[in-house]
């Protein structure tokens, strides 16, 4: 029997500390689905010092490699809060630890309107992380010539997929032995029909689909509803010599269904957020998202172009948070280039995502590919890849041809996975910077193709010229204080306790934007680096946000993240 509203209110009053209600209302993500925020994580039973209780070994190692600290956002929500909500006339749909929030389903509108009387519930977030980036972040970096390179291949026949990988000079990575082996890739989409049954995906049957999860309807069966994800996955994973070779045919995958193909509401952004947390906790190194949001079934949920600023939408904020955990984020730019909307769609605007537009096989921009820049002035799309009449494999198991930035994105993402395999000590920012810098319009980006068409053979050379030395892996880099306001002490000591750069006469210390632009540079002699410490002063002029501190000497270099506050 359905519990009455009167009984519910009595339960709330008896079981929870009550606060005065305000005129606020819970945000409705979709009909009868509401977003509730928790006020804190007190007493959740987890500690940042014991990440093994809530993160996989892969997730912890990814953070360690990139010197990313475990913080409160990584901690699960308070279980007692969700248990209390579960006793009410509602159903918990998805839970977000990063937003410290929950999406609930209930047709009891009167109940929903009273929930913020509970002491641990709020209808608005306690805080919203904001990521900032200066425009034209690459203007002082040298461009790389994008030459047309062809390699004779006697033992791999790419079939229908050959032209699309050759346009990106990606075959060279495969010939060098890098095909995504031991790289874990997350795919967020609307469904993966027949991937579990189709012979074209038989190479994944040996345990290379690590995990699956449905964030729309719950459970683990993602092999239903739509074959859009099937086609997306095929461009990366397929290994059919002579017929079709994907861009990372040896990668492993986490498949997440976040898109409800029957409707369009902002709840799908919250689904995406929760999938991002799930993928992060498993240990993915890269995700591809061939989804984009700007207009919805409810006109009141429509976004404006001004909201495509990298920080406003749920999904773009989620993408930024996932990137802050060290994951490479690659997303389609959108297919609105010929529509009234015209612009990129979220999360392509995200500060820390690589958004991919589409070109035809002749190198011209595809007419449907969305335009940038972001509303905040960032170069978007970042780059382009083949997306007009490209080879894919759908639910039938046969090769056909489809168009859309939905396919340009994963074609490129697979090659990014090969770079991750080749340079396991490179950070997510290193990988994305190399892709941008290898592109043919790097020195003159525009709103149609961004930095242009990448050359992955050039991106490989760029990364090869950076030294991700084992000597530096595990070094103790301690920026104090972090966050900082106007000065920063940087300590640099190796695992053995010795200065890492003992054999060099000088050390360069730089503060970089998230896309690699140096904004503070100091050359320091060895004698100045007393007690393995250098004090950087006069930093109050920097805008609030996340930066990289880079220390280099000779061919050795190391970076870590720092946070500037007011």
Name residues whose C-beta falls within 8 Å of residue 444's C-beta, 6 or more positions apart in sequence: none
For residues 241 and 355, membership in a common domain is answered with yes
Claim to verify: residue 328 and residue 445 sit in the same structural domain: yes
Are 114 and 18 in contact by the 8 Å Cβ rule? The answer is no
524-to-280, 466, 513, 519 alpha-carbon distances in Å: 38, 20, 21, 16
Gap between the Cα atoms of 361 and 391, Å rounded:
11
Residue 281, in any domain of the structure: yes
Tell me: do 184 and 235 sit in the same domain. yes
Question: CB count, 10 Å around CB of 113?
Answer: 15
Q: Are both 222 and 370 inside the same structural domain?
A: yes
In order along its 566 residues, the chain shows pLDDT tens digits of 434 333 344 344 334 444 444 447 899 999 999 999 999 999 899 999 999 999 999 999 999 998 899 999 999 999 999 999 999 999 999 999 999 999 999 999 999 999 989 999 999 887 655 544 433 333 233 333 333 333 444 335 899 999 999 999 999 999 999 999 999 999 999 999 999 999 999 999 889 999 999 999 999 999 999 999 999 999 999 999 999 999 999 999 999 999 999 999 999 999 999 999 999 999 999 999 999 999 999 999 999 999 999 999 999 999 999 999 999 999 999 999 999 999 999 999 998 999 999 999 999 999 999 999 999 999 999 999 999 999 999 999 999 999 999 999 999 999 999 999 999 999 999 999 899 989 999 888 999 999 999 999 999 988 887 755 434 433 444 556 767 788 887 765 543 444 445 555 677 888 888 667 788 888 877 666 544 567 788 888 888 877 877 777 665 666 666 778 77
Q: What residues form DSSP beta bridges with 408?
A: none
N-term to C-term CA, the chain: 55
Residues 419 and 533 in one domain: no
Q: Where are the beta strands (DSSP E) in 290-410?
A: 328-332, 354-359, 383-386, 390-393, 399-402
Structural contact between residues 423 and 429, judged by C-beta atoms closer than 8 angstroms: no
CA distance 465 to 176: 16
Are residues 202 and 88 part of one domain? Answer: no
Question: Given this model, what pLDDT does residue 529 score?
Answer: 54
Q: What is the pLDDT of residue 543?
A: 86
* The predicted structure's pLDDT at residue 140: 30
3-state secondary structure of 64: helix
Residue 96 counted as domain residue? yes
Task: Give the per-residue pLDDT at 123.
Answer: 92
Report the predicted TM-score, pTM, of the whole model to 2 decimal places. Answer: 0.79
259 and 284 together in one domain: yes
Residues 411 and 521 in one domain: no
Task: Note whether residue 162 is domain-resident.
Answer: no
Asked which of 412, 435, 464 is the last residue of a domain, the reply is: 464
Distance between CA 351 and CA 133 in Å, rounded? Answer: 7
Q: Domain of residue 24: give its range.
A: 5-41+77-122
Give yes or no: residues 260 and 408 share one domain.
Answer: yes
Helices and strands of the chain, counted as H and E runs = 12, 23
Residue 69 lies in a domain: no
Of 464, 491, 525, which residue sits at a domain end?
Answer: 464
Q: Give the pLDDT score at 565.
A: 78
Going from the C-alpha of 398 to that of each of 235, 290, 395, the distances in angstroms are 13, 21, 8
User: How would DSSP label each residue in 408-460?
Assistant: HHHHHHHHHHHHHHH-TTS-HHHHHHHHHHTSTTTTS-BTTTBT----HHHHH
- Asked if 62 and 282 touch (Cβ cutoff 8 Å), the reply is no
Please indicate, yes or no, whether residues 359 and 502 belong to a single structural domain of this protein: no
**Is residue 517 domain-shared with residue 453, that is, in the same domain?**
no
Residue 158 lies in a domain: no
DSSP class of residue 18 equals B
Cβ neighbours for 131, distance < 8 A, ≥ 6 positions apart: 310, 311, 320, 324, 351, 352, 514, 545, 546
Q: Has residue 62 been placed in a domain?
A: no
Q: What is the pLDDT of residue 482?
A: 63
Task: Report the distance separating Cα 51 and Cα 121, nearest Å.
Answer: 26
CATH number at residue 290: 3.40.50.200
189 in Cβ contact with 215 (< 8 Å): no
User: Residue 22: inside a domain, yes or no?
Assistant: yes
Virtual torsion, Cα 37, 43, 47, 48, nearest 10 deg = 30
Q: 122, 139, 157: which is the final residue of a domain?
A: 122
pLDDT for 443 equals: 81
Residue 192: name the closest of 233, 240, 161, 220 by CA: 233
Number of compact structural domains in the chain: 3
Say which DSSP state 168 is in. Answer: T
pLDDT (0 to 100) of residue 1: 41
**CATH number of the domain that 504 lies in?**
2.60.40.1930
Q: What is the DSSP string of 80-149?
A: HHHHHHHTSS-EEEEEETTTTEEEEE-S-HHHHHHGGGBTTEESS-S--------SSTTTTSPP------
CA–CA separation, 476 and 495 (whole Å): 7
Contact 200, 236 (CB under 8 A): no
- Is 173 among the domain residues? no
**Domain shared by 349 and 226, yes or no:** yes
Contact 132, 544 (CB under 8 A): yes
473 in helix, strand or coil?
Answer: coil
């Amino acid at each position: 029997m359905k519990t009455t509203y009167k009984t519910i209110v009595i339960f709330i009053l008896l079981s929870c500390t009550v606060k005065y209600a305000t005129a606020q209302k819970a945000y409705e993500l979709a009909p009868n689905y509401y977003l509730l925020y928790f006020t804190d994580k007190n007493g959740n039973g987890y500690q940042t010092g014991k990440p093994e209780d809530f993160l996989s070994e892969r997730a912890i190692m990814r953070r360690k490699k990139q010197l990313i600290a475990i913080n409160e956002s990584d901690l699960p929500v308070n279980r007692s809060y969700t248990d209390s909500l579960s006793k009410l006339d509602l159903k918990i749909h998805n839970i977000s630890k990063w937003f410290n929030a929950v999406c609930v389903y209930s047709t009891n509108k009167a109940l929903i309107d009273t929930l913020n009387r509970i002491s641990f519930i709020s209808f608005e977030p306690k805080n919203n992380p904001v990521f900032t980036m200066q425009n034209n972040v690459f203007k002082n970096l040298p461009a790389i010539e994008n030459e047309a390179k062809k390699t004779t291949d006697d033992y791999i026949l790419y079939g229908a997929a050959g032209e699309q990988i050759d346009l990106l000079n990606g075959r060279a990575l495969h010939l060098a032995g890098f095909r995504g082996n031991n790289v874990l890739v997350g795919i967020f989409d609307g469904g993966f029909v027949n991937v579990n049954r189709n012979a074209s995906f038989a190479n994944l049957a040996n345990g290379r689909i690590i995990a699956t999860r449905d964030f729309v309807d719950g459970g683990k069966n993602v092999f239903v509803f739509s074959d859009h994800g099937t086609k997306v996955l095929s461009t990366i994973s397929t290994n059919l010599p002579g017929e079709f070779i994907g861009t990372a045919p040896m990668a492993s995958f986490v498949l997440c269904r976040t898109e409800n193909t029957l409707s369009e509401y902002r709840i799908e952004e919250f689904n995406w957020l929760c999938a991002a947390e799930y993928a992060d906790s498993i240990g993915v190194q890269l995700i591809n998202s061939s989804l984009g949001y700007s207009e919805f079934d409810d006109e009141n949920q429509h976004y404006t172009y001004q909201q495509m600023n990298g920080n406003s939408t749920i999904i773009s904020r989620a993408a930024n948070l996932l990137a802050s955990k060290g994951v490479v984020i690659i997303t389609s730019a959108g297919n609105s280039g010929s529509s009234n909307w015209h612009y990129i769609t979220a999360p392509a605007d995200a500060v820390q995502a690589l958004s991919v537009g589409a070109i035809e096989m002749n190198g011209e921009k595809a007419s449907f590919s969305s335009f940038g820049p972001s509303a905040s002035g960032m170069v978007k799309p970042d780059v382009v890849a083949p997306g007009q009449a490209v080879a894919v494999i759908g639910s039938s198991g046969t090769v056909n041809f489809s168009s859309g930035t939905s396919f340009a994105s994963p074609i490129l993402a697979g090659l990014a996975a090969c770079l991750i395999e080749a340079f396991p000590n490179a950070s997510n920012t290193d990988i994305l910077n190399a892709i941008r810098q290898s592109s043919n319009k790097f020195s003159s980006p525009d709103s149609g193709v961004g930095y242009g068409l990448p050359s992955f053979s050039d991106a490989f050379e760029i990364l090869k010229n950076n030294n991700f030395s084992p000597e530096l892996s595990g070094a103790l880099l301690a920026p104090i204080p972090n966050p900082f306001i106007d000065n920063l002490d940087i300590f640099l000591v190796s695992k053995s306790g010795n200065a890492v750069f003992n054999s060099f006469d000088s050390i360069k210390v730089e503060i970089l934007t998230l896309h690699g632009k140096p904004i503070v540079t100091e050359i320091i002699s060895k004698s100045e680096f007393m007690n393995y410490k250098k004090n950087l002063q006069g930093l109050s002029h920097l805008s609030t946000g996340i930066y990289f501190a880079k220390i280099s000497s000779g061919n050795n270099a190391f970076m870590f993240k720092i946070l500037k506050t007011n």
